[in-house]
């Protein structure tokens, strides 16, 4: 039989369907995909070195790198492979180290097509993520898969949703551009600390207090792995409160050179970028870098 010719049978066949030979011998060199996948914690943590990762710490030398990070904190995967992948990682971890490889497992749902069908090449209903990235940007695609999606719940892919997240990324950029272009680039008599009237101060205090409540709730939701809720409340605040409400009320003061108003807006914006960074990392980093000349994780 030629090497490139194969046939598949569930039961042991009586004869080869190609050449008619009856002499069969089971191949002992088999590849168990899930057994291999179960070695993920070892394959990742034991294949890295502190030098390669540029880790500046005596605690993270090559000999202790695995021991330092293992067990990990959270394992994230789709619910459909819980019995095959997650369980095998646990078994292999217990066998090799007598420790479970992670403390928590976060299960996300499946991304289905617009009709709710599971995507597959045979059905021809697969959406190429690179096409969406080229069309709308990586942030937009990433955010669309998180926004208003419950943990472990399947979702129908919607290009309209990706488009909406693209609009949100544009909104973040435009907010940053408005604040940044009004910052005093050079010493100018136009920009000076002004005595804020009671109405302006009330608005700024209201903005600061509202953001502090959002920030507190955000961290509570993130600690509970309620990522969609954390993203959603930050999305609502940045678009509909910071942009549509507060900036609209204060934009004339900004344009008139009220530096105290501008500084409050800048502070709230930069803190909001930090909250949004896990969900839309590229646009938040770009805007943050404009203000601080460094990226968010460099803080």
Q: Largest Cα–Cα distance of the chain, in whole Å?
A: 96
* Residues in Cβ contact with 81 at an 8 Å cutoff, skipping those fewer than 6 apart: none
CA pair distance 238, 230, nearest whole angstrom: 12
Distance CA 184, CA 234 (A): 28
Q: How many CB atoms lie within 10 A of CB 158?
A: 12
Are 154 and 265 contacting, i.e. CB atoms less than 8 angstroms apart? no
- Rounded CA gap, 291 and 180, in Å? 7
Give pTM, 2 decimals: 0.78
Burial 180-205 (b: 16+ CB within 10 A, else e): eebeeeeeeeebeeeebeeebeebbe
* Tokens linked to 79: 């619910």
In this structure, which topology does domain 155-298 adopt according to CATH? Isoleucyl-tRNA Synthetase; Domain 1 (1.10.730)
Task: Report strand pairing: 155-156 vs 111-112.
Answer: parallel
Spell out the per-residue pLDDT of the chain, length 299, in tens.
445 667 777 777 888 888 877 777 766 666 677 888 888 888 888 876 555 555 444 544 555 778 888 999 999 998 888 888 999 999 999 998 999 999 999 998 899 988 888 888 888 889 999 999 999 999 999 999 999 998 888 999 999 999 999 999 999 999 999 999 988 743 454 555 555 577 888 999 999 999 999 999 999 999 999 999 999 999 999 999 999 999 999 988 888 888 889 999 999 999 999 999 999 999 999 999 999 999 999 87
Listed by start position, the domains of the chain span: 34-134, 155-298
């Amino acid at each position: 039989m030629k090497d490139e010719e194969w046939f598949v049978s569930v039961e042991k066949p009586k004869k080869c369907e190609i050449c008619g030979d009856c002499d069969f011998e089971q191949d002992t060199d088999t590849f168990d995909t899930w057994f291999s996948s179960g070695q993920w914690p070892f394959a990742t943590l034991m294949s890295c070195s502190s030098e390669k990762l540029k880790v500046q710490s005596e605690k993270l030398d090559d000999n202790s790198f695995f021991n330092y990070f293992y067990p990990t904190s959270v394992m994230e995967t789709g619910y459909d492979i819980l019995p095959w992948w997650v369980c095998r990682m646990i078994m292999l971890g217990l066998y090799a180290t007598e420790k479970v490889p992670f403390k928590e497992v976060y299960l996300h749902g499946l991304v289905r097509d617009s009709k709710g069908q599971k995507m597959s090449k045979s059905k021809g209903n697969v959406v190429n993520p690179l096409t969406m990235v080229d069309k709308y940007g990586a942030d937009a695609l990433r955010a669309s898969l998180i926004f208003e999606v419950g943990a472990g719940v399947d979702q129908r892919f919607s290009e309209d949703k990706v488009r909406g997240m693209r609009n949100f990324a544009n909104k973040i950029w435009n907010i940053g551009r408005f604040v940044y272009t009004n910052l005093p680039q050079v010493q100018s008599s136009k920009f000076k600390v002004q005595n804020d009237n009671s109405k302006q101060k009330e608005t700024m205090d209201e903005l600061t207090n509202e953001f502090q409540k959002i920030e507190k709730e955000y961290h509570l939701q993130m600690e509970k792995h309620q990522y969609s809720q954390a993203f959603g409340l930050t999305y609502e605040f940045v678009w509909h409160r910071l942009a549509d409400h507060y900036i609209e009320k204060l934009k004339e003061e900004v344009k008139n050179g009220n530096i105290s108003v501008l500084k409050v807006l800048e502070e709230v914006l930069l803190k909001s970028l930090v909250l949004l960074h896990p969900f839309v990392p590229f646009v938040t980093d770009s805007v943050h870098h404009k203000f601080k000349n460094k990226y968010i994780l460099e803080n």
